């Protein structure tokens, strides 16, 4: 098994359990030196897609999962890594028990664009389900988003 750092919809342990039933939640933590952002608006069905970029002043809340060899290709397909939309990268996650090296997905597109309100709501709900701090969830809910009329 390898450690996977989820920062988007896979933060939700129930959703991740449905997608990857052989990959248990390990813990939660922070990607320090990274920022949650959005990009690839032309690739999303309803606005820009979540990704992370390096930023020395920021941090991103993540859930760490032990991903089984059986579930990894399923997750790659779900996250569009098999099509090249997202690529895998290694990151260091700070947890309460120490530092863990994990992989995550990074959008292979330009940063920019707005996510839809519904997508942003799903991300905030997923962070809440993973017990992210209240201020982190609130900041997600306050982010600018596309109106449904676009």
Binding-site residues for substrate, please?
119
Crossing angle for the helix pair 117-129 and 134-142, to the nearest 10 degrees: 180
Interatomic CA distance for residues 48 and 63, integer angstroms: 22
Q: Which residues of the chain have pLDDT under 50?
A: 149-150
pLDDT averaged over every residue in the chain: 93
Query: Is the pTM value of this prediction over 0.75?
Result: yes
Annotated binding-site ranges: 119
Residue 58 falls in the annotated catalytic set: no
The structural domains of the chain, with segments of one domain joined by +, span: 2-141
pLDDT of the residue at 150: 45
- Per the structure block, which two tokens stand in for 135? 């201020």
Q: Tell me which of 18, 72, 79, 111 is the catalytic residue.
A: 79
HSE-up of 42 (CA within 13 Å, CB side)?
Answer: 4
Domain 2-141: which CATH class? Answer: alpha beta
């Amino acid at each position: 098994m390898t450690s996977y750092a989820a920062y988007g919809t896979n933060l939700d342990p129930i959703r991740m359990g449905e997608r990857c039933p052989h990959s248990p939640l390990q813990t939660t933590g922070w990607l320090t030196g990274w920022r949650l952002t959005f990009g690839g608006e032309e690739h999303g069905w309803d606005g820009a897609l979540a990704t992370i970029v390096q930023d020395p002043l920021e941090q991103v809340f993540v859930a760490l999962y032990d991903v089984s060899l059986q579930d990894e290709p399923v997750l790659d397909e779900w996250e569009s890594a098999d099509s090249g939309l997202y690529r895998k990268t290694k990151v260091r996650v700070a947890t309460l028990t120490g530092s863990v090296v994990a992989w995550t997905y990074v959008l292979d597109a330009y940063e920019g664009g707005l996510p839809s309100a519904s997508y942003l709501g799903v991300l905030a709900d997923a962070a809440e389900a993973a017990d992210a701090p209240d201020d982190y969830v609130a900041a997600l809910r306050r982010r600018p988003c596309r109106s449904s009329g676009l």
